[in-house]
Amino acid sequence: MEQSDAFTMTEVFSIDYTNSGKESRKPIGHFHDSYELAFFIRADIDIFVKDTKYRVQDGDLLLINAFDLHRIFYNPNHEYTRYVIQFKESFIYELLRTLQLEQLVQKLQQKQNKKISLTIKQRVKLEETFRNILNLHKKKQVCLDDPTLEPALKVHLLLLLLEYHKLSDLRRSPRKFNPIENQVHQIIQYIDEHYSETLQLNDLSVQFGKSKYYISHSFQQVTRFTFVEYLQYRRVIEAQKKLLQTDIPIIDIGLECGFQSLQHFYRVFKKISKQTPAAYRKENK
């Protein structure tokens, strides 16, 4: 999760453990091509994910969908300990298909509130699960000729996802937004529906009946992205998906995603993805 502001290409499966004291951490924003399940043992942070701001504290579990833009803000006066698992659906798809659970990841992706606050008993159980997965992963990296370790990892991950699914179903109360968060949530939904069009702050001002200053200030207050930053990220995310999932010519993808010229598309895409659209398609498709 702790990466620089940009797109992050990930492996089919990885797990990371961080245990640090009180220290200053730079706010970071990025997205990646895998799902992310984070268990925060010690934390006091704000995370903006796609269109929702979460306050994350000790014992919270958070799922972030693949390609969901998120930005993290740390409290330097609080210790920070967490596990993060990143995985692609392809890593466990055969297991899901064998068990007739092909829809599990999609169901998790569609959940509205991705954060679960755990009880003490649940924390203890989940911490042991994450620790076991971390140890299995470390052993797999050393014992390359042991054919049992990857299947064991997949089974442990599946059991963890099923546990998350069960816990999230127990907490179905809708998340409450304050008035500013609710307004920004609506603005983001509007951007997500109209990113392919020519879109400016003035258009949002007319749509929502608020001044450009109010929209700009409120948007950055909640998301910590400027309107232009968020719009550029949103367009690049959709362009990446089209580059991987279709054979549409690159120039047409740029236009479909709201860029006004091929030059502008290449410049913004490279700034965020660290490579050109052509290189991204060639290396990842």
pLDDT of 260: 92
Contact 27, 74 (CB under 8 A): yes
pLDDT of 1: 47
Q: What share of the chain is helix, strand, coil (3-state, %, to 5)?
A: 50, 20, 30
150, two tokens: 């990857």
Residue 235 has pLDDT above 60, yes or no: yes
Q: Per-residue DSSP letters for 21-51?
A: -S-----EEEEESSEEEEEEEE-EEEEEETT
Given strand 115-117, what is the order of strands in its sheet?
13-20, 80-87, 35-42, 60-64, 115-117
pLDDT of 5: 57
**Percent of the chain predicted with pLDDT > 70:** 93
pLDDT class of 101 with cuts at 50, 70, 90: very high
Residue 228 has pLDDT above 90, yes or no: yes
247, two tokens: 């054979």
- Give me the chain's average pLDDT, please: 90
pLDDT of 175: 62
pLDDT of 27: 67
List of domains in the chain: 7-170 (2.60.120.280), 179-284 (1.10.10.60)
Residue 157 has pLDDT above 50, yes or no: yes
Return the minimum-mean-pLDDT range out of 2-11, 153-162, 196-205, 242-251: 2-11
In whole angstroms, what is the distance from residue 148 CA to residue 191 CA?
46
Residue 53 has pLDDT above 70, yes or no: yes
pLDDT in tens, 110-120: 988 899 999 99
Adjacent-strand bridge partners of 87: 13, 35
pLDDT of 170: 79
pLDDT class of 169 with cuts at 50, 70, 90: confident
pLDDT of 162: 96
| Mean per-residue pLDDT, 181-201 | 93
